[in-house]
Amino acid sequence: MSAEPLRYEKLAGELAGLIAGGVLNQGERLPSVRRLAQERRLSVSTVVQAMRQLEERGLVEARPQSGYFVRPAQMQRSEPQARSTPDSPMPVDISERLVHVLEAGARPGVAPLSAALPANELLPIAALHRLYAGVARRHPHLLESGSHVHMDQPALVRQLVRRSLAWGGPLPAEEFIIVNSCTEALNLCLRAVTRPGDTVAVESPAYYLMLQLLETLGLKALEIPCDPRTGMSVEALELATRNGGVAACLLVANGSNPLGSLMPDDKKRRLATLTAARGIPVIEDDIYGDLHLGNDRPWPVKAFDKTGNVMLCSSFSKCLSPSLRIGFVAAGRHRRAVALQKTITSGGTNPLTQMVLAEYLESGAVDRHLRQLRRCYRLQVEAMQAAVSRYFPAATRIAQPQAGYVLWIELPEHIDTTQLHAKALRERLSYVPGELFSPSGMYRNCLRLNCGNPHTPEIDDAIRRLGLIFGGGEAVAEAGRG
Amino acid sequence: MSAEPLRYEKLAGELAGLIAGGVLNQGERLPSVRRLAQERRLSVSTVVQAMRQLEERGLVEARPQSGYFVRPAQMQRSEPQARSTPDSPMPVDISERLVHVLEAGARPGVAPLSAALPANELLPIAALHRLYAGVARRHPHLLESGSHVHMDQPALVRQLVRRSLAWGGPLPAEEFIIVNSCTEALNLCLRAVTRPGDTVAVESPAYYLMLQLLETLGLKALEIPCDPRTGMSVEALELATRNGGVAACLLVANGSNPLGSLMPDDKKRRLATLTAARGIPVIEDDIYGDLHLGNDRPWPVKAFDKTGNVMLCSSFSKCLSPSLRIGFVAAGRHRRAVALQKTITSGGTNPLTQMVLAEYLESGAVDRHLRQLRRCYRLQVEAMQAAVSRYFPAATRIAQPQAGYVLWIELPEHIDTTQLHAKALRERLSYVPGELFSPSGMYRNCLRLNCGNPHTPEIDDAIRRLGLIFGGGEAVAEAGRG
């Protein structure tokens, strides 16, 4: 790859500069695509690509039939910045505290802001129930006895292979293993390529469940700094692995949790090349890949892997139903080792549910549903950003997620979200404190909010009251009035 | 407990002596229950209890409307004997070989003698499919989004509590955690109470999957000798744990796999007391408890546990369908730790399938089905014993399983079942070689056969041909003719 920026990147950079410099004001309409193409002697598709990049960076927004507009300033609140991380791997010890946070957050009457769960009304629950009834009648042999070796349904694997065309595939059918959830997939992959005591490179901040997995498997975590927009620093990973000693790399390239970052293709390619060259297996969680907030389905790191080094894990819990309990791994050259772990971890996976999922994916309804869902999540994330911007302290930094539906917030330095969590709970408010995303306890002034629900007045009020707890501007005024 | 034998035990002992001494001959009818009661001045129920014990020991059999008869000699072939085991715990390394054995055994056209899978025609497949269709229609909210914390279905837990009345219960509803399989249950329990490097006491011979679990979790196995009829030696366990250093005890008290042994209640009580006193958590696999081959549902060790020390694991894979993928743990005082492992291992368990199982268990059909199934398994095991007796070398010892449907065979010392396995496979025959049931490679002259299928002429012929490979009597004659 040349280091020279591509034409569209150059144009995007120029326009971003105009926005940053105030030459283009918030809410202002940008010159039309046609005009820019003419003026700059670029093709229309290059200009469109530049606009998409600006959209993905949250700087402009498309309005139907009207063109592109500079996004309002409240959307442009400062974003969190990459932080430097400890040099040494360390054991993880967050599970006890995390369980408390998630259990408390799931109590009836508590605002649903902690676990990353979608609202029911966004999911195709009725269609799935109908399919269960139909599949149970139309395939009367699915529950027959059989070796777990033969339990994976070819019909489901076919659909996954078909869908993998959008991920830079097709991936070979032989690579797939059907499992009970994305969590189980991550688990199996980790067990397949590590031994207790090993070190695993993770994002900083990292998805807490990944940290819990390391904790329970007796693995150490090495935090790699992340850019809030573009994810894990490949340079930092390169430096951290130059002397060996890292058994695997565990990451979410598309819609990291909690940052919502999205690795650009070039970075993915470099990461795939580096890890392959150094023999470090990559375990990639792509559960938010279908829930990107930009225009195109981003490819996973797996798409840039030429050596079978990347294990791609995902499920349909975030977009169809968290209750289905079907996930998968495309395990590359680790297939045999992962399949063995599956056998001794839980045996096979329910074939009837597999067939329900296969038929739903085949129906075509899934793509309509995903388009609609992405629109909802995008609106919900934006509404949450606006609410946080309104109610939280002025110096608050707000992430600009590129995929998924969680929002990472950085409060002023002196605010301790772990300490304030109990107070929030007493007021039936919840969130996940930032320190639970780091084995070294970084991010104590950060928190993660779930945006899986429509932004109702109740949720807006919950954010207002959270703002009060964190000493937010409007909050202070509110308190004064009250 | 008094060491004095109870009345029925005394009577059973006397009658067993008469059989062993040839006073009562094979096939001969025993004195009627009424007559024995009169003559010995015992209550009818005491005599019946003695007869049941003799039945469970395989010495007599009940024939409807005719009374009790001494079982034919071929059923009385010598049984395998308890062997002494290594003093030290050791790491496990069987997975690679085992996967090969099970994969090869599952190939189309290979006689189904390796994995412990039941025949389809024995299972209520159609009823389960009907329930899926009905449940999907009648409970339209099951697949809705929700925290895994709330995914366990109270209706299923209620049925499990009800069923636990037959296990010395009722167990409290709060103890139950619904999981994807008994395998997953064992996994979670092990992870909840051990750390990599720890030592776990196991039966010798032990179920290979348990050994694989230890292997993958970096745990060491300490083999405890087992009596082929009554299971793990509590004395040996007492000795082996007198200096501490054992993190858990993993066993199948009802229908151990491969021996089919069944621990008497008194032994279970002593084991529960010993492990509680020494603070050694017990992980009990009770998957064959409902598939006992005697008259009464045996209680698990859990029934004798007063301290919450025993984690009872099971599923319905062996009696309803291996494809359901629902198991459970009643985790005692380890509940919280096991629930945490469940969350980070695979999240919740599909609620629709849970409801299908709950409705099946509620219907009452399950008890009729289990009675019928036990009869089938008993006949199949007996037929397999007879076939092995007929075709295998004269000095072969055959286990007398008390529960489950696998059969453990001990061949003459010089026969190496691992070495001969490749030869068997070439002839489309399969079994599990004995050494895979021991981390120290004991039992190289043993093998396990699956009796989950009706004893068809094809299966009988497969056993005949296996006999040939092992140099059996009829086999030699056959070879001479061929």
What residues are paired with B409 via a beta bridge? B398, B447
Compare all CA atoms of chain B with the CA of A139 and give the residue at the minimum distance: B129
Name the residue facing A120 among B117, B136, B145 (closest C-beta): B145
- Are residues B353 and A353, on separate chains, in Cβ contact within 8 Å? yes
Residues of B in contact with A345 (CB under 8 A): 183-184, 187, 345
Determine contact: A352 vs chain B, CB below 8 A.
Answer: yes
State the smallest CA–CA distance between residue A157 and chain B in angstroms.
18
Determine contact: B197 vs chain A, CB below 8 A.
Answer: yes
Distance CA B50, CA A224 (A): 69
* Architecture of the CATH domain B123-366: 3-Layer(aba) Sandwich (3.40)
CB B290 within 8 A of CB B320: no
Distance CA A367, CA A369 (A): 5
Q: What is the pLDDT of residues B47-95, one digit of tens each?
A: 999 998 888 767 788 887 888 988 775 555 788 988 899 989 999 999 8
Distance CA A112, CA A318 (A): 15
ipTM here: 0.82
pLDDT over threshold 70, residue B451? yes
Determine contact: A191 vs chain B, CB below 8 A.
Answer: yes
Q: What is the pLDDT of residues B388-418, one digit of tens each?
A: 998 999 899 999 999 999 999 999 999 999 9
pLDDT of residue A101: 92
- Are residues B350 and A349, on separate chains, in Cβ contact within 8 Å? no
* Architecture of the CATH domain A122-366: 3-Layer(aba) Sandwich (3.40)
pLDDT, mean over chain B:
91
pLDDT of residue A4: 66
pLDDT of residue A219: 95
- Please state the rounded mean pLDDT for residues B418-423: 96
What's the fold here for domain B90-120+371-481? Aspartate Aminotransferase, domain 1 (3.90.1150)
Residues of B in contact with A142 (CB under 8 A): 129, 323
Residues of B in contact with A115 (CB under 8 A): 147
Work out how many CB contacts closer than 8 A connect A with B: 202
Residues of A in contact with B128 (CB under 8 A): 143
Exposure string for B154-188, b = 16+ CB within 10 A, e = fewer: ebbbebbbebbebbbbebeeebbbbbbbbbbbbbb
CB B317 within 8 A of CB B324: yes
Residues in chain B: 482
pLDDT of residue A473: 54
- Are residues B323 and A142, on separate chains, in Cβ contact within 8 Å? yes
pLDDT over threshold 50, residue B428? yes
Name the residue facing A145 among B117, B126, B195 (closest C-beta): B117
Name the residue facing A143 among B184, B323, B348 (closest C-beta): B323
Compare all CA atoms of chain B with the CA of A345 and give the residue at the minimum distance: B184
pLDDT of residue B4: 66
Distance CA B373, CA B377 (A): 6
Q: Say yes or no: domain A97-120+368-481 is CATH 3.30.70.100.
A: no
Q: What is the pLDDT of residues B22-31, one digit of tens each?
A: 677 777 888 8
Per residue, the 3-state secondary structure of chain B, as one string, reads: CCCCCCHHHHHHHHHHHHHHCCCCCCCCECCCHHHHHHHHCCCHHHHHHHHHHHHHCCCEEEECCCEEEECCHHHHCCCCCCCCCCCCCEECCCHHHHHHHHHHHCCCCCCCCCCCCCCHHHCCHHHHHHHHHHHHHHCCCCCCCCCHHHCCCHHHHHHHHHHHHHHCCCCCHHHEEEECCHHHHHHHHHHHHCCCCCEEEEEECCCHHHHHHHHHCCCEEEEEEEECCCEECHHHHHHHCCCCCCCEEEECCECCCCCCCECCHHHHHHHHHHHHHHCCCEEEECCCHHHECCCCCCCCHHHHCCCCCEEEEEECCCCCCCCCCCEEEECHHHHHHHHHHHHHHHCCCCHHHHHHHHHHHHCCHHHHHHHHHHHHHHHHHHHHHHHHHHHCCCCCEECCCCECCEEEEECCCCCCHHHHHHHHHHCCCCCEEHHHHCCCCCCCCEEEEECCCCCCHHHHHHHHHHHHHCCCHHHHHHHHHC
Give the pLDDT band (50/70/90) at residue B479. Answer: very low
Per residue, the 3-state secondary structure of chain A, as one string, reads: CCCCCCHHHHHHHHHHHHHHCCCCCCCCECCCHHHHHHHHCCCHHHHHHHHHHHHHCCCEEEECCCEEEECCHHHHCCCCCCCCCCCCCEECCCHHHHHHHHHHHCCCCCCCCCCCCCCHHHCCHHHHHHHHHHHHHHCCCCCCCCCHHHCCCHHHHHHHHHHHHHHCCCCCHHHEEEECCHHHHHHHHHHHHCCCCCEEEEEECCCHHHHHHHHHCCCEEEEEEEECCCEECHHHHHHHCCCCCCCEEEECCECCCCCCCECCHHHHHHHHHHHHHHCCCEEEECCCHHHECCCCCCCCHHHHCCCCCEEEEEECCCCCCCCCCCEEEECHHHHHHHHHHHHHHHCCCCHHHHHHHHHHHHCCHHHHHHHHHHHHHHHHHHHHHHHHHHHCCCCCEECCCCECCEEEEECCCCCCHHHHHHHHHHCCCCCEEHHHHCCCCCCCCEEEEECCCCCCHHHHHHHHHHHHHCCCHHHHHHHHHC
Name the residue facing B325 among A123, A135, A350 (closest C-beta): A350
The yes-or-no answer to whether A7-76 and A122-366 have a common fold is: no
Name the residue facing B350 among A144, A149, A324 (closest C-beta): A324
State the smallest CA–CA distance between residue B138 and chain A in angstroms.
10
CA A172 to chain centre: 25
Domain boundaries, chain A: 7-76, 97-120+368-481, 122-366
Determine contact: A196 vs chain B, CB below 8 A.
Answer: yes
Structure tokens at A177: 């293993």
CATH of domain B7-76: 1.10.10.10
Name the residue facing A123 among B103, B145, B341 (closest C-beta): B145
CB B215 within 8 A of CB B190: no
Mutant choice from B99, B145, B314 vs A, greatest count of A C-beta within 10 A: B145
pLDDT < 50 stretches in chain A: 1-3, 474-482
Least confident of A52-61, A62-71, B204-213, B338-347: A52-61
Determine contact: A65 vs chain B, CB below 8 A.
Answer: no
- Are residues B143 and A125, on separate chains, in Cβ contact within 8 Å? yes
pLDDT of residue A376: 93
pLDDT of residue A469: 96
Residues of A in contact with B346 (CB under 8 A): 179-181, 183-184, 187, 325, 346
Name the residue facing A325 among B141, B181, B348 (closest C-beta): B348
- Are residues B150 and A126, on separate chains, in Cβ contact within 8 Å? no
pLDDT of residue A475: 38
Q: What is the pLDDT of residues B216-268, one digit of tens each?
A: 999 999 999 999 999 999 999 999 999 999 999 999 999 999 999 999 999 99
CB A272 within 8 A of CB A305: yes
